[in-house]
Amino acid sequence: MELLTLPLIISFKKIEVAGKGSLIVGESEKEIPFPVKRVYWVEGALNDLEVRGNHAHKTSVQVVVAMKGAVRIELESKEGETFSFHLKNSDEGLLIPPMYWRKLFLEKNGSCLCFASKEYSEEDYIREYSVFKQ
């Protein structure tokens, strides 16, 4: 887990099933480089590009995958480094290390899948941008 300090695109294994589509795999501690404690899916933005997220995690590592429609993700470190990613394919994920302020912009009716290394704990969230930047 020590190396999970920079945002990183993860490529998932995509298995094509002739004439039937595909199967994409994320295994705990393999493609997803941590034990997956929590999976959640963010969906149903009523308007195009509504911002979601708007918080940072103190310790939880997350991986985000665009499942339906594309998602744009903007990250900012405490030091002010910024990153922008545009996820369009469900065989790639963005790993977000702890202590990055994130903004997610989903397409209308889009959804994304998120894997987290920790169970839910409100104490792990920083919800005030000014607090994050202190």
Contact positions toward a copy of itself, by CB under 8 A?
17, 19-28, 32, 36-47, 50-52, 65, 67-68, 90, 106, 111, 113, 115, 119-120
Amino acid making up residue 115 = F
Task: Write down the least CB distance from residue 82 to a copy of itself, Å.
Answer: 22
Distance CA 113, CA 53 (A): 13
The least distance separating a copy of itself from the CB of residue 85, rounded to whole angstroms, comes to 19
- 79 token code pair: 């030091």
55 among known catalytic residues: yes
Q: Which of 4, 31, 43, 55 is catalytic?
A: 55
Minimal distance, residue 79 CB to a copy of itself, in Å: 29
Nearer to a copy of itself, 79 or 122 (CB): 122
Q: Which residues pair with 84 in a beta bridge?
A: 74
Q: Tell me the C-alpha to C-alpha distance, in Å, between residue 6 and each of 60, 73, 82, 106.
A: 13, 14, 11, 22
The smaller minimum CB distance to a copy of itself, of residues 36 and 99, is found at 36
CB closer to a copy of itself out of 19 and 80: 19
Q: Are 64 and 45 in contact (CB under 8 A)?
A: no
Q: What is the DSSP pairing of strand 50-57 with strand 100-106?
A: antiparallel
Q: Annotated active-site positions, please? A: 55
